[in-house]
Amino acid sequence: MKTTTPKTEPSPATQLRKVIFGGSLKKFSQFAKFALGALAMALAISAEVHASDVPLKPNIVILVADDLGYCDVSCYGSWIQTPNIDQLAREGMRFTDFHANGNVCTPTRCALVTGCYQQRAGLNGVLNPTSRSGLSQEEFTYADALKPAGYHTALYGKWHLGNDRPEYNPVNHGFDEFRGLLTGNIDYFTHFKDGKLDWWNGLKAQNEKGYSTTLIADHAVDFIQRMKAGPFCLEVAFNAVHTPIQDLQTGLPSKTADTYGKMTQAMDQGIGRILAALKENGLAENTFVFFFSDNGGHAGIAGSSNKPLRGFKGSFWEGGHREPAIAWWPGHIPAGQTTGQTAMGMDLMPTIMELAGATLPPGRKLDGVSLVALLLHDQPLASRKLFWGKGQSWAMRDGPWKLLREDDTTYLFNLMQDLSEQHDLAAQMPERVENMKADVEAWAKDVGAKVNTRETAPSKKRNRPAPDASDE
């Protein structure tokens, strides 16, 4: 009996070869080599184009406000008109979930310049005028990182990371130039604090005539004009709108909302002059600018508001550390964006290091993450847990969830649904509370923080305002 062998279908590759090359294996092999070579070239070109999205060594300007409430500029809903800060938002990216690392000045400024949780540097509280501690020279700042990359660096305004001991001065932490105050606040006109001059030119106390907000902007504009050949990195740390609240004409103490508004507008005008200097010198499209505040608005200041947030400076309620923040870089950051991505002040150091092509010394690591992909390509940040804390008070974020310890009570909030922190879910979700407490304890051990997650007797005072401490 005759048998037949069943036909087998040719492979897809064989069928393709027949269709395109008439069955010629040699022609198919030649085409495959060509196609693979073309693909490799396309990938290389794509990588090169993506890398060119970040120009080599852009100039960097960091604008820091002092004690500015979340709702204290008009692009965040304030009654105070701030057209220049609004311009940053209109032409850049506005953050709605950006946070200071601390709820008072010193911790936030430490995290900003080191890129790490401030607890690692031992600066988790406010330095007062008699403090003998400060930022150790063992710490590595963004200014230290940028110097080998060819940057000229300057800080004008408030330092608050060590008083008049030379080892704590900004010029011994990577900054080529420093003009401003070393402590937490001064008289805006005399530049004295507790009877002592606190206005410095590098390591030397040297007074200048004028309103401090204006002087800080003056020095920033002068620096931009002198350093327009670049690259440069400039931190402009206004002492506005920290106390004392003073009438801009007389210098006398004032408690009116109008005075607070005018102080805020004086800072806005200074920012406008800085932006104008960048544009007039043809630097706008090669300068990355970031604006934020060091902590929330202070309780009891007429005209200031953290709405819709709960709490004030000095607390770990959202009003103590969620800040207005804006990134601006014409031609690179798409205009008119708003992002709900969660970011912190310590993220600025890795961001500017990536932009500048700067590197860390061996063995150094940062707690912050770079925001470059978010800013330039709107790529979401990787999921991470974030922490705040000092002693009995602390907070943690895990996505929309916030675990908070204030007034001897532990709270749990879903900020996506309850931004104003009005509906405590701790009793309903005990397992989540315990898991997050364990995260807080692990973080505290890692960074050397002293926090207490144990329950104590509830306090009768809940959400008490921050103390009126003028040194903060």
* DSSP type of residue 305: -
CA distances from residue 211 to 2, 72, 157, 247 in whole angstroms, order as listed: 109, 21, 12, 11
Q: Do 311 and 402 belong together in one domain? A: no
Q: In the prediction, which pLDDT does 340 show?
A: 98
Q: Beta strands 93-99 and 337-339: pairing type?
A: parallel
Q: In the prediction, which pLDDT does 117 show?
A: 98
Task: Look at 97-101, 291-295, 424-428, 451-455 and tell me which has the smallest mean pLDDT.
Answer: 451-455
Tens of pLDDT, residues 85-120: 999 999 999 999 999 999 999 999 999 999 999 999
Amino acid sitting at position 419: L
Q: Which residue has the higher pLDDT, 316 or 460?
A: 316
Q: Do 320 and 399 belong together in one domain? A: no
Report the phi/psi class of residue 366: left, alpha or beta, with left for phi > 0 and alpha for psi in -120 to 50: beta
Compute the distance between CA of residue 91 and CA of residue 83 in angstroms, rounded to an integer.
12
Q: Do 284 and 336 belong together in one domain? A: yes
Q: In the prediction, which pLDDT does 459 show?
A: 41
Q: Do 283 and 331 belong together in one domain? A: yes
CB 293 within 8 A of CB 324: yes
Quick check: 33 pLDDT over 50?
yes
Domain span at 404: 386-447
Ordered DSSP codes for 280-294: HTT-GGGEEEEEEES
10 occurs within a structural domain: no
Quick check: 4 pLDDT over 60?
no
Q: Do 280 and 422 belong together in one domain? A: no
Q: Which CATH number do you get for residue 196?
A: 3.40.720.10
Task: Look at 30-44, 73-87, 418-432 and tell me which has the smallest mean pLDDT.
Answer: 30-44
CB 349 within 8 A of CB 62: no
Q: In the prediction, which pLDDT does 454 show?
A: 77
As a residue count, the chain comes to 472
458 occurs within a structural domain: no
| CA nearest to 60, candidates 147, 162, 170, 184 | 147
Query: What average pLDDT does range 181-201 have in this prediction?
Result: 97
Quick check: 234 pLDDT over 50?
yes
Q: 386-415: buried (b, 16+ CB within 10 Å) or exposed (e) per residue?
A: bbbbbebbbbbbbeebbbbbbbbebbbbeb
Quick check: 23 pLDDT over 70?
no
Q: Which CATH number do you get for residue 398?
A: 3.30.1120.10
Question: 406 - beta bridge partners?
Answer: 409
Give residue 50's pLDDT band: very low, low, confident or very high (50, 70, 90): very low
Omega within 30 of 0 (cis) for the link into 244: yes
Q: Which residues are catalytic?
A: 105, 160
| CA nearest to 464, candidates 415, 409, 419, 414 | 409
Amino acid sitting at position 420: S
Tens of pLDDT, residues 324-367: 999 999 999 999 999 999 999 999 999 999 999 999 999 999 99
Task: Look at 26-35, 214-223, 227-236, 274-283 and tell me which has the smallest mean pLDDT.
Answer: 26-35
Q: In the prediction, which pLDDT does 19 show?
A: 39
Compute the distance between CA of residue 23 and CA of residue 16 in angstroms, rounded to an integer.
9
Report the phi/psi class of residue 376: left, alpha or beta, with left for phi > 0 and alpha for psi in -120 to 50: alpha
CB 388 within 8 A of CB 101: yes
Q: Do 353 and 433 belong together in one domain? A: no
Q: In the prediction, which pLDDT does 405 show?
A: 97
Crossing angle of helices 348-356/105-114, nearest 10°? 30
Tens of pLDDT, residues 245-278: 999 999 999 999 999 999 999 999 999 999 999 9
Residue 305's contacts (CB-CB under 8 Å, 6 or more residues apart) are 69, 70, 71, 72, 78, 297
Of 328, 355, 382, which one is at a domain's C-terminal end? Answer: 382
Tens of pLDDT, residues 212-228: 999 999 999 999 999 99
5 occurs within a structural domain: no
172 occurs within a structural domain: yes
Q: 155-179: buried (b, 16+ CB within 10 Å) or exposed (e) per residue?
A: bbbbbbbbbeeeebbbbbbbbbbbb
28 occurs within a structural domain: no
Of 328, 357, 382, which one is at a domain's C-terminal end? Answer: 382
Compute the distance between CA of residue 85 and CA of residue 431 in angstroms, rounded to an integer.
43
CB 313 within 8 A of CB 293: no
Of 325, 351, 382, which one is at a domain's C-terminal end? Answer: 382
CB 180 within 8 A of CB 87: no
| CA nearest to 340, candidates 149, 167, 98 | 98
Give the chain's largest Cα–Cα span. 119
14 occurs within a structural domain: no
Q: In the prediction, which pLDDT does 472 show?
A: 52
Helix (H, G, I), strand (E, B) or coil at 205: strand
Quick check: 45 pLDDT over 90?
no
CB 103 within 8 A of CB 278: no
53 occurs within a structural domain: no
Placement of tokens 């936030």 in the chain = 108
Q: Write down the pTM of the prediction.
A: 0.87
Quick check: 135 pLDDT over 50?
yes
Query: What average pLDDT does range 431-445 have in this prediction?
Result: 97
In the chain, the number of structural domains is 2
Q: Do 337 and 418 belong together in one domain? A: no
Tens of pLDDT, residues 459-472: 444 344 443 334 45
Compute the distance between CA of residue 375 and CA of residue 92 in angstroms, rounded to an integer.
9
Q: Do 345 and 420 belong together in one domain? A: no
CB 422 within 8 A of CB 317: no
Q: Do 377 and 391 belong together in one domain? A: no
Q: Do 132 and 164 belong together in one domain? A: yes
Cα dihedral sign, 183-189-192-194: negative
| CA nearest to 100, candidates 140, 131, 69, 71 | 69
Tokens of 11: 């492979």
Q: Do 342 and 413 belong together in one domain? A: no
* Gyration radius (Cα) of the chain, Å: 27
Q: In the prediction, which pLDDT does 53 show?
A: 53
49 occurs within a structural domain: no
Question: 178 - beta bridge partners?
Answer: 155
Q: Do 367 and 293 belong together in one domain? A: yes
